[in-house]
Amino acid sequence: MQDNVSKLIKVCNKLYDKQLASGKSGNVSIRLDDYIAITPTLKAINGLNEDDIVLVDMNSNTLTKGNPSSEAGMHLAIYKKRSDVNAIIHTHSPYTTGFAFSNKKIKRLEGFGQIKNPYIASIEYEEPGSEELALKASEAIEKEDVLILKNHGVICVGDDLDEAESLAIFIEESAKTQFVSYMLNSVKDIE
């Protein structure tokens, strides 16, 4: 377990360093048999130590000291729906979240598996940490690997932390590329 928690902390630091999470936003979890290890609430995800990580069983009971992320219910709901998911990353990365606050969708780009749907799936806004958000997110991501939360952020899931992290980085880069494309296409050429 200690190796898994160390890996979780390392991924959190990388997400923060890549500016996919800032301030005290974002949360990361991994499945460990019948419980999850998740980042704490109201703490920045960079600079965490092993004592900061909170263990929670599948019935939402906290098994260690500290308070789990306010999004722990959403993480648990996804794990219950998806036996193939062993890691979840939820960020408020700037470009992806910018799309989440707009009426534009993020196109799926080549580079992370087969394109089954032309756009990244999204759900309408629900209050962060709410049961409604947990329910809607777990249902919408049932056959997806990424989910945009309108006016909120993004969820990436994977078989392991490396896959979820790669996907979080890829989606932000996709959003950045599409943002630049929209800007360039909206400006008339000066001759």
Determine the Cα–Cα distance for residues 171 and 165; give it in Å rounded to an integer: 10
Tokens of 24: 């005290």
Tokens of 131: 């049961």
Give catalytic status of residue 144 as yes or no. no
Tokens of 7: 């890996």
Which one, of 152, 163, 165, lies nearest residue 70 by Cα?
A: 152
Which one, of 59, 29, 58, 32, lies nearest residue 41 by Cα?
A: 29
Task: Please pick, among 71, 126, 163, 172, the residue that the annotation labels catalytic.
Answer: 71
Residue numbers annotated as active site: 71
